Structures are given as structure tokens and as C-alpha cells.
Amino acid sequence: MIIARSPLRVTLGGGGTDLPSYYRKHGGFLLAAAVDKYVYVALHRTFDQRLILKYSRTEEVNDVGQVEHPFIREALRSVGIENPHIEIVSLADIPAGTGLGSSGSFSTALLMALHAWRDRTLSPRELAEQACAVEIDVLGRPVGKQDPYIAAYGGLRTFAFRPDGRVDVAPLALSAGTRAALEENLILFYTGARREAASILRDQRDRTDDDDPEMLLNLHRVKDIAGRSRLALEAGNLEEFAALLTEQWEIKKQRSEGMTNPAIDAWHARAMSSGALGGKLIGAGGGGFLMFYAGDKTRLQSAMKSEGLAEVPFRFEDAGTKVIVS
């Protein structure tokens, strides 16, 4: 049996600038942190000559061409496994559709496990690029490169997305004290809503491809905030970073009508009046997790609990995708 594990992530700034529709013309920049919540993929040889898949549903087929899950089908092909006798099982600590990058974590964990099955190892860059190639180039999904990259590398990192497709990866240069304070005071609250990000991201992609001036200005401003956020974090100015989270959220809300709703806006306002110094919704929008940087952590936690929002404690995860059982 082989089990691979990929971390989920929180975006600290620059979300949306990692889509090819934007970075191929303008270059993108983003900050993200891997967290200690994971997607697991297990491979086990089947007794008979069948391919068994267990994710949110179960498939049993005779060959790869019959697989209905598009990423699993194309991942098997990309690794060169055409007639496997394999059972593939995926599990996750957090449900999909909640804004923590689960699709990128799943894709990197699956590819890592499949390569391990064939006694191969990949670098984080090779793993991330293969995941992006399958999801963006082969399947044509309107997604960015952030999620496979932060899952593959782990840690707290900056990503510069170049127009020629290159991605420059660097660690955030945080002092030990800044990292500890950031980890202690960033808090996630689950809104209880799961959403399909594809429609929001497809709208962004199409409008960016069409050089829509409103969308381009929005993404330019978000990219600028990501650069300012990196400077604030590396200078240890966490209050400024917190304020930039809110500034980014106000800009991001203008990107799509589906980005927010009255409940999310009310929860954000309550948090900002109850101990939060800044915050935003994680992911493409419409649901998932609200993330705040707390000035008064106890007061913020009490306020969100009274609103019925569950806190999900987390720590940063320095390790990227890896095989944990082989």
C-alpha cells in the first residue's frame, strides 16, 4: 500500500493573479501558507483485474478510459498507467468546496502516489507543474497554479507567476516571533456553506481574456496588495498585514456578484467589531472559511461562536506533498 499526503492552504494575498488568463499578460504574485489539514490518497493493488475508485462516490471499471472522474483518469494517463489493478481511495480532513485548495492538494497527492507506485520520485516543482498541466491544459479548468504549488512545496511562500509560465518560488522571510504571532492570531471560521468555485473563476477567466478593464484593475490592485502584504509580514508589522486582509476583501468582493452574500457580510462586520484587526473570505468566494487576524482573540472567538460559526484550529505545515506509507 502507498499513502500520499498533501496539505491544504490559506491564501495570504494575491488570490486570482495565478490564473493563466491574468499572469500570461501581466504576471501574477501571491502569498500562501500550507496548514496542518490534509488530503490523503491511498493506493492498493486489487485482487482481480479491476480499477476501483473511492472518493465522494465509488467507481469500478476495467480500464482507465472508463473512469468518470476526469482528474483521476487523466492523471493515470499522464503517469503512463493504462490498465491498472489498483484501488484508489481519497480522504480529506476538510470538505471540498470550502476554499482551502482541496483540488490542488488532491491532485498533487494523487500524482505523488501514482509516481511512487511506479518507483519514481518528483521534485516539488515537477509535481506542481504536472498537476497544473493536467488540470489547466488537459482538462481546461478555469483554475490557477497556486493550489498545486503550495501543496507541493508546503511552508509559507511567495509565488511569482511569469508570463512565460515560469513560477518563482521563495519562502516568506519571517522572523521566528512574527511567524509565531501570525500562527497564533490567524483564525479560521467555517461559514457552513460549500460552493463550486468554477463558475466564479470561469467568469474571471473570460473577462480577463477579454481585457475587461474593471476586472484587470481589480486584479492589479490585488497583486499590489500581495506585494505590500509581503513587506508588512517580513517587517513584522502584523497590524498592517491585518488591515491589508480587509482591503483585499473589499476589492475582491467587487469581482463577482457571487463573491459574498448578506450573511458573510454580516459575519465579517461582527468580527471586525469584536476583536478582529482584519480578515477576508478564503478561496474563490460564496462560502467556505472566513479568516481573521485577531487583536483580541478571546473576544473574537466568543462573537463568532455566538453567530454559530465553528472555529477550525490550525498550525502552519512546513512539509509539502509526501509519501507517508510505502
Which alpha helices (DSSP H) does the chain contain, by range? 20-26, 70-79, 102-117, 124-132, 146-153, 176-185, 198-209, 213-234, 238-252, 262-272, 297-306
Tell me the fold of 176-311. Answer: Alpha-Beta Plaits (3.30.70)
- pLDDT of 132 above 70: yes
Which among 313, 259, 320 has a CA at the least distance from the CA of 287? 259
Which tops the pLDDT comparison, 281 or 204? 281
Question: Which fold does the domain 2-173+317-325 belong to in CATH?
Answer: Ribosomal Protein S5; domain 2 (3.30.230)
Quickly list DSSP for 204-248: HHHHHHTT-HHHHHHHHHHHHHHHHHHHHHHTT-HHHHHHHHHHH
Q: What is the pLDDT of residue 196?
A: 65
d(CA 198, CA 259): 12
Helix, strand, coil percent content, the chain, rounded in steps of 5: 45, 25, 30
Looking from the CA of 34 toward its CB, the CA atoms found within 13 Å total 24
Q: Residue 235: phi, psi to the nearest 5?
A: -90, -5
Mean pLDDT, rounded, of the chain: 94
- Per DSSP bridges, beta strands 86-92 and 51-54 are parallel
Predicted confidence (pLDDT) per residue in 101-118, tens digit:
999 999 999 999 999 999
Domain boundaries, the chain: 2-173+317-325, 176-311
Question: What residues pair up with 92 in beta bridges, in sequence order?
Answer: 39
CA distance 309 to 321: 30
CB contact set of 30 (below 8 Å; sequence gap of 6+): 11, 13, 14, 15, 17, 18, 146, 158, 159, 161, 226
Residues 275/300, Cβ–Cβ less than 8 Å: yes
- Report, as an integer, the average pLDDT of 65-81: 96
pLDDT above 70 for 2: yes
What is the pLDDT averaged over residues 122-148?
96
pLDDT exceeds 90 at position 152: yes
The per-residue pLDDT for 283 is 78
pLDDT band, very low/low/confident/very high, at 169 (cuts 50, 70, 90) = very high
**Least confident range of 170-179, 210-219, 278-287:** 278-287
Distance CA 38, CA 113 (A): 14
Give CA–CA dist 132/200, Å, rounded: 19
